[in-house]
Amino acid sequence: MPLRPPAGFISAFYDPLRNPNAPTIGTATAGDTSASVAFTAPSNVGGSAISLYSAISTPGAIIASAASSPISVTGLTNGTAYTFAVWATNTYGPSAYSAASNSATPAAPIAVFAGGVYNGVVSNVIQYVTITSSGNSTDFGDLLASVKEFAGCGSSSRGVFGGGDALGTSNVLQYITFATTGNATDFGDLATKSTEYYATANNTTGLFVTRGASNATVQQITIASTGNATTFGNLTSNRGVGAACASPTRALFGGGSSTQEDNVIDYVTIATAGAAIDFGDLIIPQRSFTSCSSSTRGLFIGGRTPTVTNVIDYVTIATLGNAIDFGDLQTANEQLASGSSNITGIIAGGSNATNVIRSVTIATTGNTSAFGTLTTRSEQLAGCSNVSGGVQ
């Protein structure tokens, strides 16, 4: 785009020889009717300090500003693909526009629940809810096969399900595209067949965990591309049927069991493969439970201790330490699944009240609230979402 003042720019000091260089565009990440546009500030700021950075959308020419990266652009239309350009402004005027960003398509936050079992019948059903609107779930499509006791995780564009029991233990990975309802597609394979996987992700990397020969093994996938999982590292002990959640940079793995329930929480830095590090402890040992998160707080929900519990714990993901009491499920429950936005956790199914969907506000402690019901009763199901603690 040409070097010119954006529409409405008026300054008695305008001097194109003293305005700043253009910023370097980064990644645009879609949200709900919004996008976060990252950029790098120019090294040449011109004749005075940069006072403001602005972004403009294509289409729509929607403009937003901020003092630093990223810029949050709101008022976008869900389902429309946008690119963004950024410019800098100092006393003497605006810079040229940056190059255009990647394409980003805003979407309503949804939680997706798949598979499971009820009265001995294993399901291949995929169903979803819109997180911002309480109500019953809607059919999304079908899994490649009926599966129970498996795990799911998601980026802003894809949900991935792996492992489980599909007429025998499975190592199959399959994915859905959140923006388009439909059946799952083959992704690749996990390294081992197991019914004890649990999983989490940021917007790039999915991490699947199951028990190993000595310590539980962590395997990674790149969500945007298909292929087999590769080795990431190990947990500090050998724990299956645990629960996992994430921020954009850190993944937490809590509880689980080998010979008995465990209360250990481990963490890894998602960008750096390697062995997990001790984070702290859950309030009580738990297994067969679920977890969801905002970008700052992780919740661990329900499970077996060895009796079925209604306990919800929380931790601050950036700060090592033991879990704190958050509140309660309305009914003690295990073998349930969850998905979340950065604001709301959605908890579905389970061994008790198995068609019930409940919600919780992640930033404030308290008990869960009624949200709706699943299209089919289910326990040992898997969940994921397109906006979560790891997906910003």
Tens-place pLDDT, residues 100-133? 999 988 889 999 999 999 999 999 999 999 999 9
Residue 31, pLDDT score = 82
Tens-place pLDDT, residues 268-317? 999 999 999 999 999 999 999 999 999 999 999 999 999 999 999 999 99
Peptide bond into 94 cis (omega under 30): no
Tens-place pLDDT, residues 150-174? 999 999 889 999 999 998 999 999 9
**Can you tell me the distance from the alpha carbon of 391 to that of 226, in angstroms, rounded to the nearest whole number?**
19
pLDDT at 12 over 60: no
pLDDT at 1 over 50: no
Provide DSSP, 129-183.
Answer: EETTS-S--EEEEE-SS--BS-EEEE-SSEEEEE--BSSSB--EEEEEETTS---
pLDDT at 243 over 90: yes
Q: Helices then strands (H, E): number in the chain?
A: 0, 33
- The count of other CB atoms within 10 Å of the CB of residue 119 is 6
Residue 132, pLDDT score = 94
pLDDT at 9 over 80: no
Residue 114, pLDDT score = 98
Give percent of the chain with pLDDT exceeding 90. 86
| Domains annotated on the chain, with CATH | 1-106 (2.60.40.10), 110-385 (2.120.10.80)
The helix (run of H) or strand (run of E) holding residue 346 is strand 344-348
**What average pLDDT does this structure show over 180-188?**
97
Q: What is the pTM of this model?
A: 0.86
pLDDT at 5 over 70: no
* CB of 353 closer than 8 Å to CB of 374: no
Radius of gyration of the chain (CA): 22
356 vs 31, higher pLDDT: 356
Residue 11, pLDDT score = 53
